[in-house]
Structure formats: structure tokens, C-alpha cells
Amino acid sequence: MTADALRKKFLEFFASKGHRIVESDSLVPREDPTVLFTPAGMNQFKKQFLGLITDYTRAASSQRCLRTDDLDKVGKTRGHHTFFEMLGNFSFGDYFKAEAIAWAWEFLTQELKVPPEQLWVSVYKDDDEAYAIWRDAVRVPAARIIRLGDTHNFWPSEAKEKGPNGPCGPCSEIFFDRGKEVGCGKADCNPGCDCGRFFEVWNLVFTQFNRREGGALEPLPQKNIDTGMGLERLAAVMQGVPNNFETDLFRPLLKEIEGGSKKEAPQSKEYTYAVADHLRAVVFAIYDGVLPSNEGRGYVIRKLIRKSSLSLRSLGFKKPFLYKLVPILADIMKDPYPELVGRRENIAEVILSEEKGFLATLDSSAALFEEKFRGFTGASASRQVGLVAFQLYDTYGIPFELTKDWLAARGIAVSEDAFDRELDEQKQRSKSQSNMKGDVFDIKDLDLGVKETQFTGYDAYVQEARILKILKDPGEAQLIQKGEEARVVLDRSCFYAESGGQVGDTGRLINGPNVFEVLDTRKSDKVIVHIGRVAQGAFKKSDTVSAEIDVERRLAVARNHTATHLLQAALRKVLGDHVQQQGSLVAQDRLRFDFTHFKDVSQPELDRIEELVNKEVIRDQGLCVTELALAEARKSGALAFFGEKYDDKVRIVSVGDVSKEFCGGTHLSHTGQIGLFKITQEGSVASGVRRIEAVTADAAYRLVKEEEQSLADIAALLGVPIENAYGELEKRLARIRAIEKQLDALKGEALKNSIDSVIKEGQDINGLQLITKDYKDAQMDVLRKAADLVKAKTSNAIFVGTSGNDRQACVVIAVTQDLCAKGIDASKLIKEVASEIGGSGGGRKDFAQAGGSKPENLNKALEKLTRAISQVSL
């Protein structure tokens, strides 16, 4: 049975049991700061578990998950993954153990026809209730039911002793018995043994306690069910293969890797499995808007790409290859994720860019080693060498083995303990980021005691409302008075809360003479929170107020928001359909739009993009807003922001046949209200991501007027009409370039003529000639030219050329070839100078240069250099 069929069967089965089928959440969970990535199926239901959302009490999902806790085990075991799909069914105060156990057994044995005799179960050691259900109701023989302790059968593991605080409870696991011929072969082998015979398939968590400080467990008023079954593991059982990697979810990827491999490595299966696994994690992270970077989630993805590149290198791949696997994965996952097919080229480009960069780093590693390990000698430096080796691993991804080989060839000692300690600390940091922090359900500012605020702001700018709650540090307040800051929750509001890149509304809440200034508007789930201070009078809970937004500001924001939609449409038309939104800011004074693109946007392209947007402004097209069911909306061709989690019903904003996007923000009624659109800036913000900033209406008009004034000022300076300014400026620049060329020639000639006298002024130090010359305010190229002239006219000499002004100092050192042959090295001498002038330097044996920010230390640097040269023995 294929993985697609298993996924479908699971969801259909629980739909038949009254569960709402909930779409997979993004790998970047919304409004949940406790995890780096979505690690389990239950994460998107935290609010339901807390009783904050009661729309439904039963749910089932196939959730895409990403974990890095067991990264070192991936590929080495049959069931560890970074990316996996978690099949789960959930109850929020509805059914409990009896139903969860019975349905799990029914699905496995009746729907999937797994032989009951091949299934074992475990229960928590003190959970007599679950034990009795398995034995008496489901009729699993007692010999195939085992009791396990806090590590295996309590969630979170060992929570009673170690925490965290919050909902917890015993769990029951279902295992598939692979047969006596597998594993340790002992007669008493059971799922408590880690020999490999028993394959964990499904974990049923019975959340029935609340852990309090000190380890006390109190019964929860609402008992919940949280189950998780890895699709990959289930597929392995149903397809009769020895491990997850031999299922249809991986086989096409493995075949492609194996077909392209140039050599058979001892760990080839391990490497191949790891690459296939990491590719899935990388692709779906990028799919959900996470791009490789040096921090947070992006750092995890960058490391997975680098780890995969190293595995491929061990398999004989010398050129980028990981990106070639993206279309194969897109085909494997096209049933649950059809959008992946359309985005495969874009995702492949991101991966290719990372692969190229990392392989280039590996190819140039020798030069990097030379730079980083210069000056390290003796056993006493081994600890510092170990720390640098870790920095190379952590920053550049260079494997420790490669670094060790290079160091050994040069006789440089390295402390592996120092490297390992740094690596362990890094793993702990990573683990603390990727796991839950603090209490399991520690989501701040959610328990407002209000289900939902009715939003009326699409059509209204003023709304009569009642105050439901007033929040003021440290908690809820009944009354607030003039000057006090607070957060106010109303039963209904026309204020738009910050969301989707659009800033929150500002305005006022008015009750007679009493005025509350709203400085920002935020949202906690579906509750709108008005943040501000009392400007006049006082407010108390249950007061009726008139909520009035700042209309001019709202219209300015709307201009920029509608312009953003037109901008994305223009970008896709000019640059291509690969353009996808990666983030945005829609404020009252500007807009910012981040998008995927893999090269610079040329000025002609920017001009064309700006032209297309303004063309739609001139057409004054009307906007159309509709609401559709999510599945229908996706089929409509509307653009969605990948990585965003949408409700069952979505709002679609269309501008004629030019733009159609999922969008919950506020907009204009006609494009003509934008007035004018001007791009102010374009540039790169990350690998494969560009950013455009722009302004509209009044801000755009002011920008045009400022540019006009600048042009008028330039024309006035040139003494010509504005229309002749460009031609006049071009003529004068040509004249300046000609004069500069003549001046350079004269300077060069003067420099050449002065070299003899410079050489004569040199001093003898231990049988060699030290020649120094200060060229005040000269550029580095003058110093380099002087060095070349000196070397051409003399021998047995060291030339030191300097230059300085109020801000910086420049130094060059040139050594004639005969002295180079005797062991004098300019690149070493320059280091005597560089530190003194507050900078750094480097170069070759015969020539080196340095720059620094302390020109006042030039004389001191020369004295130090003279002392160093005086100690040289030829």
C-alpha cells in the first residue's frame, strides 16, 4: 500500500469517527515561540488543548514535522528522520482512552489488515485503566501487553520528575513485531528491548494531569487525547520493507543518488539515506518560507544542505547534485502538496546556490586554513587550534576530519577535546532552540477570556462597542485613568490588527469626554487588542465606546497594500513566475516587499516594473473581494503566501485580470487612489531573496519633487538649463578624466625621477638596506608603484612606503628577490606594522600591504619594524 493511500485512509477513517480533518500546519508554527520548527502533530492544536478554541472537539491531521534532536542517527537507523509526516487524531475534552485505543486497533487490524498477532502494546506502569482496556475490551493477550516506566510511557518523558510544568499524562504505544528471527533472539524479548525486533508504530498520549511546581500531578478538568503515528514507519510496515528508507517515499530518491554515485563507500547506504532524508527537510522548509542563513531556522537548513553535500562528496559527487533531486521529491509528494510541483525550480535554485557556495569553500579550504592557523605552533596552542577548528566547522561547514588532516601534514597539534566541548555546547544550544522551552503550553497573552472580536473594519471606520477587558501591568484592571497605558479588548472593532505584514490601525476610543489613544493594534488568535494610553478622563470595564480609526492613516496604508499586490504581479510579469513573496511590510509611509529571485534586478527591469504598476494606477481598476472555501480558493489560481496557515474560509483580493491573492488586509476600492508609485530601493537581503522598497501618493510626489529640485540645483551649478544638464555634466566629467590622466602621468614621472634619491636615503641595518619613504595623503596605488620602482633599481633591500591622513594609514613593504631567497618575508614583516596602526595586512613574500585606522601610530610602527629587521640574521 502506497504512502499516499495510507495517508488518505487514515484521514478518511477518522473523518468517519466525527473528526474534523485539519490541514497540515507550516513547519514554522504560527504564534508559537516555544519551538523553532513544528516538531509534532499536536503543536497546532495547543489552543484547543488549553480550551481557548472550542469550534470542534475532535481533529485529525497529517502534519509535516521537522526535528534535529537525533541528527547524528539519521541514516544509521531504520527509523530516525529530520523531516517526517505525523498522522494524528486528537480529542479536546471529548473521548478518552477507551475510544482512542479501540479506534487505533480498528484502523490497524481492520482497515489496514495488519495481523493482530504481530502487534504488541505497552502501557504506563501505573496505568491500570489502559491495561484493562487493551486486555478486556480489545482482547490483546496479556502476554503481548507490557508495562514501561516514565522514560518510555509518560509524556513528556520523565515529566513527573523533571518537568516541564503543564498538561501531561501516561501513554500507550503500539509495536509491530518483525519476528523472532530479527533482533536479539532471546525468548523473553519484548518491546522494552532495543534490539530492533519491535518497531514502534503509534503512540497514544492520554493527557489527564496538570503538573505543578514540585512535581505534583492534579487531574485536569478536561482530559485530552494526542496521538502520533509516523507515516514513514507505517509505510515500512505495510510495504514489508526492513526500514523507512526502502518505502515509496524514498526509493525514487535513493535510485537517483545511487545511479549518480561514482564510488562505493563503506557507509554508502548511510550517506544515501541521510541525503534523501535531509533533502525532504530542506525542501519543505524552503516551501514554508525558511531560507538558508546564518541564524535561527535558516542556520538549521544551511547545515542540512552542507551535511548532505559532504555525504554526496563521500559518494563521489564533485559537483552540486542535491538540487537535482527536488523534481523527484516534488513528484513523490504531489498528491498531498500539489503546489510543490509549481515551486520546484525555485526551491532547486535556492539549494543550488547554497551547494555552489559550500563546495567553493571546501575547494578553497587550504587557503582558509593558512589564514586561520597562521602562527599556531607547539602543543601549548592545541586548545586554541581546536577552537578555531570548531569555528571553521560551525561557520563554514568544514568537517573536522578535513581540518585534522591538514594540520597533521604541517605538524600542528589540535585538541580534539576542545573541539568536542564546543560541539557539545552547540548541540545543546540547537536542542534548546528546536525543543519546547519552559512549560509545555507556555503561550503568552492567549488566555484573554474572550473567544473572538467581531471585526467590522472592512466596511466601517467608526464602530460602537463595549469594553470586555482592560489589561494593565501586572494583570487585569477594572479602571484606567488619564496617563495610564493599557490594552483594551472590545466585543467588536473596526481597528485592523497587525497581520500579514500590514501594520495595525491607530485611532481613538471615545466615551463622552473620555479619550483613549490607540497607538497600535495587535491580535491574539481572533481577539483584537487595542494598545495605547488614556489621553483624557477614565475608562472602566463594560463602558460603551465609539471606536474611531485614523482614517487618513488607514487610507495611506491601504494605498501601499494595494500597490504591493500590483508590485508582485509586475515582478512576476517582468522577472518570471518563480517570483514568490518571502515577506512584506505595509506601513503608512512606505512599503517593502521581499521576493525570491537569484540575480540582480537591472535598472531597465526596475523601470519596467514601476511602469507596469503605474499603468494599473492610471487604469483606475476596481478591486474585487470574495470569500471562498480554502480548497476552492487554491483551485482559483490565487497567489498564497507560502508558509502561512489559512482558515477554512479565505478572503481573495483581485485587481481585474492582473492580480489575485489570498489576503486578509485592508485595501482601496480603486487602483487610481494610489496616485503614484515610485521604487526607492532594490537589493539583496539573503541568498536568493531580493527586496524592493517603494512609496505611493504623497510620499511618492514628495520624492519626485525632491529629485526635481536636486536636478535644478545641479543645472544651476553647471550654469545651464535643466534639459542641458546631462550633456554639460558629461562634457565636464570627460574633461576632468583627461586632466586626471595627465596628472597621474606627471605624478608617475615625478615618482620615477625621485626614486634614486629615495634609495640613497636608505640606511644600512646588519648588511641590508632599509629604505623608507612617507608619501603624505597618497593612495595605495602610489605606494605600490613606488615599491615596484625601488625593487627594479636595487637589490639587498627592504622598502617601506607609508601614507597617512586624519582618518587612515597605509603601509606597503617590498623585499627584493635576493633577500626573499634568504628567508625574509614581507607578509610576516607587515604584521609587525598592522597591529600598531589599528588594522590588518597580508601579501606575498616579496610584497605586502596593510591599512589601519590609527595614522598617529605610523612612526611607532616604523620603529617597531626597524627593531624587527635589526634582529634578522642573513
Distance CA 736, CA 592 (A): 39
pLDDT in tens, 528-566: 999 999 999 999 999 999 999 999 999 999 999 999 999
pLDDT at 44 over 70: yes
Query: Higher pLDDT residue, 122 or 156?
Result: 122
Percent of the chain at pLDDT > 70 equals: 95
Distance CA 430, CA 66 (A): 13
Distance CA 134, CA 144 (A): 10
Q: Among 579, 555, 568, which residue's Cα sits nearest to residue 675?
A: 555
Q: Looking at domain 454-549, which CATH architecture does it have?
A: Beta Barrel (2.40)
The fourth-level CATH superfamily of domain 554-705 is Threonyl-trna Synthetase; Chain A, domain 2 (3.30.980.10)
pLDDT in tens, 144-155: 999 999 999 998
Q: Among 40, 133, 46, 39, which residue's Cα sits nearest to residue 92?
A: 46
**What is the predicted pLDDT for the residue at 572?**
94
Cell of 630: 480554502
**What is the predicted pLDDT for the residue at 78?**
80
Task: Please compute the mean of the pLDDT values over residues 495-515 and round it to a whole number.
Answer: 95
Q: Which of 47-51, 331-335, 414-418, 644-648 has the highest mean pLDDT?
A: 331-335
Task: Please compute the mean of the pLDDT values over residues 694-710 and round it to a whole number.
Answer: 95
pLDDT in tens, 728-756: 999 999 999 999 889 888 878 888 888 89
Pair 315, 263: CB distance under 8 Å: yes
The mean-pLDDT minimum among 69-83, 200-214, 664-678 falls in 69-83
pLDDT at 439 over 60: no
Q: Which of 158-162, 301-305, 437-441, 637-641 has the highest mean pLDDT?
A: 301-305
Task: Please compute the mean of the pLDDT values over residues 309-320 and round it to a whole number.
Answer: 90
Task: Please compute the mean of the pLDDT values over residues 130-138 and round it to a whole number.
Answer: 97
Beta carbons within 10 angstroms of residue 163's beta carbon = 17
DSSP H/E element including 285: helix 268-287
Distance CA 623, CA 667 (A): 8
Task: Please compute the mean of the pLDDT values over residues 262-288 and round it to a whole number.
Answer: 87
Terminus-to-terminus CA distance in the chain, angstroms?
Answer: 81
Q: Is 617 exposed, middle or buried (0-12, 13-18, 19+ CB in 10 A)?
A: buried
Query: Higher pLDDT residue, 188 or 645?
Result: 188
**What is the predicted pLDDT for the residue at 873?**
67
pLDDT at 435 over 80: no
**What is the predicted pLDDT for the residue at 431?**
57
Query: Higher pLDDT residue, 35 or 480?
Result: 480
Pair 507, 518: CB distance under 8 Å: yes
Q: Say which residues have a Cβ less than 8 Å from residue 793's Cβ, sequence separation at least 6.
A: 755, 756, 759
Crossing angle (nearest 10°) for helices 365-372 and 400-409: 70
Pair 153, 126: CB distance under 8 Å: no
**What is the predicted pLDDT for the residue at 438?**
42
| Fold category of 87-246 in CATH | BirA Bifunctional Protein; domain 2 (3.30.930)
Task: Please compute the mean of the pLDDT values over residues 379-383 and round it to a whole number.
Answer: 75
Pair 484, 535: CB distance under 8 Å: no
- The separation between CA 835 and the C-alpha centre of its own chain, rounded to angstroms, equals 37
Q: Say which residues have a Cβ less than 8 Å from residue 107's Cβ, sequence separation at least 6.
A: 10, 13
Crossing angle (nearest 10°) for helices 365-372 and 339-363: 60
Q: Is 737 exposed, middle or buried (0-12, 13-18, 19+ CB in 10 A)?
A: exposed
pLDDT at 433 over 80: no
**What is the predicted pLDDT for the residue at 766?**
83
List 87's β-bridge partners, or say none.
Answer: 62, 229
- pLDDT band, very low/low/confident/very high, at 511 (cuts 50, 70, 90): very high
pLDDT at 437 over 60: no
CATH number of the 757-870 domain: 3.10.310.40
Distance CA 755, CA 391 (A): 46
pLDDT at 445 over 60: no
Residue whose grid cell is 530516525: 80
Residue whose grid cell is 587550504: 366
Q: What is the pTM of this model?
A: 0.74
- pLDDT band, very low/low/confident/very high, at 455 (cuts 50, 70, 90): very high
- The separation between CA 388 and the C-alpha centre of its own chain, rounded to angstroms, equals 25
pLDDT at 245 over 50: yes
Handedness of CA 557, 558, 563, 564 (dihedral sign): positive
pLDDT in tens, 191-215: 989 888 898 999 999 999 888 888 8
Residue whose grid cell is 493594534: 521
**What is the predicted pLDDT for the residue at 264?**
64
The mean-pLDDT minimum among 102-106, 347-351, 601-605, 740-744 falls in 740-744
Crossing angle (nearest 10°) for helices 296-314 and 416-434: 130
pLDDT at 443 over 50: no
**What is the predicted pLDDT for the residue at 114?**
96
pLDDT at 442 over 50: no
> Using a CB cutoff of 8 Å and minimum separation of 24, what contacts does 752-757 make?
752/789, 755/786, 755/789, 755/790, 755/793, 756/793
Domain boundaries, the chain: 87-246, 258-363, 365-435, 454-549, 554-705, 757-870
Distance CA 817, CA 750 (A): 25
The chain-wide mean pLDDT, for the chain, equals: 89
pLDDT at 578 over 60: yes
